[in-house]
Amino acid sequence: MNKRKIPQTVILGGGLAGLASAYELSRAGKKVTVLEKWEDVGGLARTIKVGRFAFDTGPHRWYTKSNMVNGWMLKLLGKEVINVPRLTRIYFDKKFFFYPIKLKNAMMGIGLIKAFRAVTDYIIARLKSRLFPSVLHTMEDGYISQFGKTLYETFFKRYSEKLWGTNCRNISIDWVGQRTRGLNFLTILKESVFKSKSVVSLVDEFSYPDRGVGRIADKMVDFVKKSKGEIKLESEVVTVNCGGGKIVSVVAREKGGEKVYKAEEFISSIPLNSLVESLKPSPPAAILKTAAKLKYRDELQVALFIKKTHITPDTWIYVHPKEIPFMRVMEMDNWSSRLSPAGTTTMVFEVACNEGDRVWKMKDEQVINMIADSFISEFNLIKKEDLIGGHVHRVPKEYPVYHLDYKEDVQILKDYLRQFSNLQIIGRNGTFRYNNMDHSIEMGLYAAWNIIKGERKWDVDSVNIEREYLEEKKIETVEDELLEENGRK
Ligand SMILES: Cc1cc2nc3c(=O)[nH]c(=O)nc-3n(C[C@H](O)[C@H](O)[C@H](O)COP(=O)(O)OP(=O)(O)OC[C@H]3O[C@@H](n4cnc5c(N)ncnc54)[C@H](O)[C@@H]3O)c2cc1C
């Protein structure tokens, strides 16, 4: 049995990706150090507690196409997993529409004339792409090709522009592929006739930890700490020292001052541009210029605690009208009854913005009043006296913005980082890829396994690309074999 000494590892970022690496290395018996800038772990997938209320940082359903990742997650959470029926709708013109679109509901809701236009538009879009094939670049191109112009303008354009704060022509088509992969007018038609659920976006039940999505991070942290690993909170990596084709150490800003962490291996899940910008010696000016092109969309998450239950039947609702300040709202007691005290619920509203803009800088009280007034007047589901309180959570870097040539820019940065043989980059902002939780966890597992195995056997970069085009991977048992090899199973 090969009992290789597993190298000392420092992990940058304590979101799900970084924690998955820390968890696996701990399982293999290695003491790791995780450096996390915020006051808590979990990154974008946290459950925030305010008094007796708990709410998630945005709707987080667990769904994965990978049996390996699913099995890993179910083992981690054990009996805490519940199945939640999904109901998601779109709200505009004072009406609710099912999402993913259900043909009959959509066509009845938009009226006969528009419905006729939607069908003919879709046929025209398909014919055009057959007769005059061209390369599609933008989010608008993508949606029109999948759904036709009328359905795009009705169901996708307004929401997308509210989310991104820019015209759909300024965002790459890749975002459409990642968000509505496999979904188009024909799959919706097929789903309504045959009730087939082959497309991820159409799945109508999902797994969820009954005490909130934050349990995924908490469970990993408990294990890492039990295994004598370190989780350093409020520890912001500001400098990454490199030399001789390797990362030598990182410097983190902490309460007591700056601290240096040395290791043999480094895994980074911090934003790709931050990593490049913190390298010392500094990369060439052209690389720094490319890093500066990567942008993110930020968000306020506003929780209202309410003396009522099941105000809506939905897990979440997409809210299109421009004049309503929030773009999505979710109701926590439709996810789990354990998140709010009896007789109450929490509604969480997402307000897209840019860090430092007018909305971002509004006082918490102002934001809470703005959201409460808008929700009460537009939906008429609660009264002001039903409100118990509110809370505002500001989240920088929620969504990597896929500008039109982002792919080339990301590749330039990745190629530059490849010179550091003991560095692996993982995670959503870490790889600048629109990851879901399962993708980030999968990347984290691969990076850890590569270190445990002593060779770069698992390709982190293969995660969350068009799986349909990849050979099905047979990796269900690989992690256990690895741990056995290291004598830890
Ligand atoms: C609103 C919303 C809804 C979502 N819904 C779903 C869903 O339904 N299903 C699903 O599967 N996924 C969903 N996701 C995606 C999911 O949240 C992410 O894929 C996942 O949490 C990303 O984990 P990560 O570790 O890759 O990144 P992050 O969570 O971003 O973790 C990176 C960590 O690095 C830290 N960091 C940054 N800079 C530094 C630094 N300099 N030094 C130290 N630490 C640093 C950050 O604070 C953060 O904790 C959703 C995301 C959002 C925003």
408-432 pLDDT per residue, tens: 999 999 999 999 999 999 999 999 9
Whether 18 lines ligand 1, by a CB cut-off of 6 Å, is yes
- Any ligand 1 atom below 6 A from CB of 214: no
Confidence (pTM): 0.92
Give the residue whose CA is nearest to atom 48 of ligand 1.
Answer: 43
Residues 6+ apart with CB under 8 A from 227: 26, 27, 29, 31
Q: Which atom of ligand 1 is nearest to the CA of 430?
A: 26
Q: How many CB atoms lie within 10 A of CB 90?
A: 22
Of 40, 318, 428, the residue with max ligand 1 atoms within 8 A of its CB, to mutate for a pocket test, comes to: 428
d(CA 253, CA 239): 9
CATH 3.30.200.20 is held by the domain 9-43+68-80+210-294+405-485: no
CA 57 to ligand 1: nearest atom: 1
Q: Is the peptide bond prior to 281 cis by the omega test (within 30 degrees of 0)?
A: yes
CA distances from 154 to 149, 174, 191, 364 (A): 8, 21, 20, 33
Beta bridge partners, 330, equal: 316, 348
Ligand 1 neighbour 96 (Cβ under 6 A): no
Q: Which parts of 182-281 fold into alpha helices (H)?
A: 185-194, 214-226, 272-277
Q: Is the CB–ligand 1 distance for residue 229 below 6 Å?
A: no
What distance in Å separates the CA atoms of residue 317 and residue 328, rounded to the nearest whole number?
Answer: 6
> Is the CB of 13 inside a 6 Å radius of any atom of ligand 1?
yes
Average pLDDT, the chain: 90
Q: Would you call 260 helix, strand, or coil by DSSP? A: strand
* Residue in 230, 424, 436 to alter for ligand 1 test, most ligand atoms within 8 A of Cβ: 436
Answer yes or no: are the C-beta atoms of 169 and 79 closer than 8 Å: no
In angstroms, what is the span from residue 280 Cα to ligand 1's centroid? 26
The CATH number for 295-401, chosen from 3.40.50.2300, 3.40.50.12280, 3.30.70.3000, 3.90.660.20, is 3.90.660.20
Find where tokens 């505009």 sit: 92
Domain ranges within the chain, ordered by starting residue: 9-43+68-80+210-294+405-485, 88-203, 295-401
Query: Which residue's CA lies nearest to atom 34 of ligand 1?
Result: 13
pLDDT, tens digit (0-9, with 9 covering 90-100), for 101-144:
777 788 788 888 888 888 898 888 888 878 887 888 999 998 89
pLDDT at 193: 63
User: Atom 8 (ligand 1): residue with closest C-alpha?
Assistant: 60
CA-to-CA distance for 471 and 483, rounded, in angstroms? 25
Q: List the pLDDT tens digit at each of the 489 positions of the chain.
A: 456 677 799 999 999 999 999 999 999 998 899 999 999 999 999 999 999 999 999 999 998 989 999 999 999 999 999 999 999 999 999 999 988 777 778 878 888 888 888 889 888 888 887 888 788 899 999 889 888 899 899 889 999 999 999 999 999 998 887 666 566 666 766 666 666 555 545 557 899 999 999 999 999 999 999 999 999 999 999 999 999 999 999 999 999 999 999 999 999 999 999 999 999 999 999 999 999 999 999 999 999 999 999 999 999 999 999 999 999 999 999 999 999 999 999 999 999 999 999 999 999 999 999 999 999 999 999 999 999 999 999 999 999 999 999 999 999 999 999 999 999 999 999 999 999 999 999 999 999 999 999 999 999 999 988 644 332 233 333 455 554 554 444
As given in the structure block, the two tokens for residue 71 are 């099995």
In DSSP terms, which residues pair with 236 in a beta bridge? 253
* CB 92 near ligand 1, within 6 Å: no
Mutate to test the pocket of ligand 1, among 268, 437, 438, 439 (most ligand atoms within 8 A of CB): 437
Q: For position 488, what pLDDT does the model report?
A: 46
